[in-house]
Every structure is written in structure tokens, then in C-alpha cells.
Structure 1
Amino acid sequence: MSERNPYGLDVNTANVARIYDYMLGGKDNFAADRAAAEQVLKAFPESREGVRLNRQYLGNAVHHLAAREGIRQFVDIGAGLPTQQNVHQVAGTVDPEARTVYVDNDSIVCVHGRALLAHAPTVAMVEGDLRDPEDIWAKAKETGLLDPEEPVAVLMVALLHFLDDPYSEVAKLREMMAPGSFLVITHMSMAERRAKDTDKVKDVYARASSGVFPRTPEEIRLFFGDFELLDNDAFIAPNALERMAILGWGGVGRKKA
């Protein structure tokens, strides 16, 4: 991305979506984002592999839900900037008619995302904030790509750790999802033995567009409520999950029919 600033972007404050883009090897980032990412990498050198595996987990989950569970509509909340192997691209390899609604609370990210996705009729990008789940659901329905009476996969990948207490909002989304729907979550974790490194990462994000709130795997599982958790072996190699446990944990849950 050019360092010039034609759209009123704050290029001097690191942005969480652009930090993620840089970690993935993308070009939609600025010097401040790259500097913040390098500080995170200094504290957690595993982070770049963790981000790559997080993206792999997302792709594997979407493909599984489309190919094995028959899901044909996806709502990706906190989608960030379109990058490699996006949800609609993965789902489209199973069924070109699969529908995807991307949601982000950053207006600039949404403008950029709409431009990149302009010629994809089965895809929409809407501006919304998880702190208002009813608004997200209403906007997703307005696109014409979400049928609320049919099972849907709601994705919150590398999102919830940027919110201090989103449990009630996630519960509201679970309530609105049709029976047979799926919830996909990945989340930054914390471990006592790396507490000082985690504090350094929290300091980096405190100066960025959002703070960060790592949680234990037990706290992350609470986001699924009474959803049935699927076996993670379908989405990530067990040794990779164990190796990356210091950085994060993820899960895919099914709403009972």
C-alpha cells in the first residue's frame, strides 16, 4: 500500500488488520504497522507461523463446513482486509454459488474491501461492530446473501481478543443462528510461563488501533455456549495445535438441530 494518504487514513497509528496483513506477507500496510508487527515478533518469534496457521485453520474449517456439512452461507465478522485464500474463495471451490458476507468495523477497511470484491456477486462487505450483533445480522440480511432460516457459519477468527468482554454479544449471535449452524473462533491465548512476553504484545496493541485481551483456552471455550465442539484434527495437525498453544486456541462448534 502506498505511504501516501488520499483517504484520510491514520498511517502513523498501527492498525490491527494491517499488522495481520504484514504478518501474512501482504502489501496492504504502512511503516507503523510493520514496526508494530516486528515488535510482536520480537516478543513472540512464533507469531508469523502462528498467523499462517491461523489462516490455514480458517481455510480448512470453511472447506470442511462447505464440503462435509453442506453450509452455503458464511458471515465473517472482523474479516479485515481481503488477503490470500479468503472465505468466499475457499467456499467457492466447493460450490461457486456459496455466499459470503464480510463484516468489519473499520470504514477504511470496508471501502478497500468493497473495491477488491466489486465483481464477486456472491460476496458483500458491510460495516458493523460485534458490540452491536443485531445490527450486524440486519445488515447481513439486507445484502440478500444471508437467509436467517438456514444454517450459517459465523466466523470470528482472530477477533475476540481485541474486545474486553464480548461474551454477551457472542451469545446473542448464537441465539440468532439457525439450528445446524456453526461457529468458528480462533483466539490469542495466554500462558503463565510467557506472561512477560504477553505483556509486551499487549503494550504494542495498546498503542495500535485496538488493545488486546488474551484468554485461557477454558475462557475461549465459553464463547461456544452449548454448541457441540468438533474434533480439531479436521482443521489443524495435532502437533501444530500443540506447538502453537502458547499463542492461541481455536474451535468449531455446531448448534444443535
Structure 2
Amino acid sequence: MTADNGLNRDRGRASTARIYNYLLGGKDNYEADREAAEEIIRSAPDAPAVARENLRFAGRAASWAVAAHGIKRVVDIGVGISHGVPIPSVETCVHNVAPGARVVAFDHDEVVLAHARACRPGYGGVLHGDVTDLDGIFDHPAAGLIDTNRPMVVVLAAVLHFIGDATAVMDGLRERLAPGSVVVLSHATSTDTSEDRVGGMTKAYEGASSPINFRSEGEIRALALGWDIVTPPGLVDVQLWSVDGSYRGELYETVRVVGMAAVLPGRQQGQGHMPGGAR
């Protein structure tokens, strides 16, 4: 399928969204993306399997949060290209447990947006937004879809390892969201991953649309400062994440992506985000 020119330009530069699509087994990628993905696989042969487990984790954790907390709004930031991948999307998983829930997706990659317009017209909404510009997301012209006065689920699946200052993102979400909101996040970790493999995967992403930043488990856990990490399971490999322990995927040897869900507790009077970024 050929969408508008947003899918056809910049073919010579690998896109993190299209690399992920290739790792997931999708077909919406170009030669540059495939070359970068194959370089990743040479460093970490398990990367495609872990990518698939990451997408399963995102859907599983988001649907758990919606069902367990009675939340009706889900914001999926950095949604990527999962159309045509044989794994249920976050939206599908959420609607399986809460058919009336609204899922709104954001991405800053024009290729993702063009693909969504062409291939996913029925999606709850794919809007332009960058996780490093939370004002642009929560003050979006279509922000009527998002009510920050009520708890929501925010999904950041394999997003924060492409952000240099991931702490600022989590701090910004903490200031903006209503108590009871849940953040679902996953992140590539350097813990128990060999330096050679971290180096190889880092090199593979150097020429892509965003470099990758591996963090230790301790650094990833610290991103949830001010949040209550759901325990069990805590911060674990994405293929081991389930609150009741019922999901036990295979552990892999060459690369690790860990995930967690964290709930925003009640904030003190006077705290909160005001329109326009004022505090």
C-alpha cells in the first residue's frame, strides 16, 4: 500500500519506528531501516523476539491498568507502526477489556503519522506530538480527547531510551496528570547486557532518527521517583511482567528490555500543571 509522500521521503535515513516495525516482523520499512535492524540483530540475535515481547507487554500492562483502575482514557506516546504486525496493538488489548475506552496515540515521526492516516483511519486518533514537548501533547488542539483532571493511562513503550533527559519527561507527567493515573513504560537496559552488545546496538542507531540510550535498572527505576511502582511484579523483563504472575515468556540472553507500571499517588494541595506550562 502506498500512502502519501510522508511514507516515501527520507528513505535513505533509518527511522526508529521503521526499525522497530522490521524487528516486529512488519513490512512498512525501507532498505536503510532493514540494514540498521540487521546490524542490531548481528549484535543481539534475540532483538526481534524481545521487540515482540515488548509490544505484548505494552498491551498487557495497559489493559491491566484500564481494568484494574477503571480508567477510560489511554494516551499512547510514540505509537510507531504496528499495522500488519501479528501482535495485538495497545488499542486492541485495551478495547478487549474496556470497549468504551478512548485510546489516543501521539508520534512525532511524519512517516508514522502518514502511515496512520493511510492505513489506520479507524484508530481513536494519531496526533502529532513529541514526548519531549508535553505541553504540545496535553495542550494539543484536539486536547478535548484528553481530560487531565481524571486519571489516565500513559504508555511509553520503548520510548524513553531514545530520550536524553528521560527524567524530565517523567517529572513533567507527574506534574500534569491526575492522581491515580498510571504510566506504563519499557526501556532497554545495560544491566546484564554485555558491553559489546550495548556498543553494537548503540552504533546501529547512530545514523537513525534518534540515538539509543541504554540505562541501568537502577537508573530506570529512578525514573519513577514520586510514583508508586506496581509490585508485584516491580521492574522486570517485559516478558515476565504480569501482576498475578500468569504471564511467563522466555528470557533471552543477548538484550534486555525491562518494563513497569507506576501509579501516581495523591499530590499535595497547590501542586499541579497549569495551562501554558505555568506552575
TM-score, scaled relative to structure 1: 0.90
Aligned to 2:272: none
- TM-superposed deviation, 1:239: 5.9
Aligned to 2:107: 104
Instruction: Name which of structure 1's ranges 215-224 and 243-252 shifts more when overlaid on structure 2.
Output: 243-252
Aligned to 1:116: 119
1:181 aligns to 2:184 (yes or no) = no
Aligned to 1:249: 258
* Preserved CA contact (<8 Å) 1:160 1:187: yes
The gaps in structure 2 that reach 5 residues or longer are 234-240, 267-279
Q: How many residues get paired?
A: 253
- TM-superposed deviation, 1:169: 2.5
Paired residue secondary structure (1:188): strand
Equivalent position amino acid for 1:207 in 2: G
Percent identity of paired positions between Structure 1 and Structure 2: 30
Equivalent position amino acid for 2:122 in 1: H
TM-score, scaled relative to structure 2: 0.83
Residue 35 and residue 27 in structure 1: after superposition, are their counterparts in 2 closer, same or farther (change >3 A)?
A: same
- TM-superposed deviation, 1:176: 0.6
Equivalent position amino acid for 1:36 in 2: A
1:90 aligns to 2:93 (yes or no) = yes
- TM-superposed deviation, 1:193: 5.7
Aligned to 1:147: 147
CA distance in 1, matches of 2:189, 2:242: 21
CA distance in 1, matches of 2:101, 2:67: 11
- TM-superposed deviation, 1:244: 6.4
CA distance in 2, matches of 1:99, 1:152: 10
* Preserved CA contact (<8 Å) 2:22 2:28: yes
Q: Please state which structure has a larger fraction of its residues in helix.
A: 1
Aligned to 2:39: 39
Equivalent position amino acid for 2:66 in 1: A
CA distance in 2, matches of 1:115, 1:71: 29
CA distance in 2, matches of 1:78, 1:21: 13
Paired residue secondary structure (2:139): helix
Aligned to 2:23: 23
Paired residue secondary structure (2:219): helix
Equivalent position amino acid for 2:156 in 1: M
* Preserved CA contact (<8 Å) 2:11 2:32: yes
Aligned to 1:131: 132
- TM-superposed deviation, 1:146: 1.4
CA distance in 2, matches of 1:193, 1:118: 39
* Preserved CA contact (<8 Å) 1:88 1:98: no
Paired residue secondary structure (2:35): helix
Residue 190 and residue 172 in structure 1: after superposition, are their counterparts in 2 closer, same or farther (change >3 A)?
A: same
CA distance in 2, matches of 1:145, 1:193: 40
- TM-superposed deviation, 1:125: 1.1
Paired residue secondary structure (1:114): helix
CA distance in 2, matches of 1:245, 1:73: 36
The gaps in structure 1 that reach 5 residues or longer are none
How big is the alpha-carbon RMSD for the aligned residues of Structure 1 and Structure 2? 2.3
Instruction: Name which of structure 1's ranges 235-244 and 183-192 shifts more when overlaid on structure 2.
Output: 235-244
Instruction: Name which of structure 1's ranges 171-180 and 80-89 shifts more when overlaid on structure 2.
Output: 80-89
CA distance in 2, matches of 1:245, 1:204: 15
1:215 aligns to 2:218 (yes or no) = no
Deviations 1:176-212 (A, max 9, x none): 1111000111001113661011111111100111111
* Preserved CA contact (<8 Å) 1:190 1:248: no
Deviations 1:18-73 (A, max 9, x none): 11111111111111111111110110111111111111111110221122221211
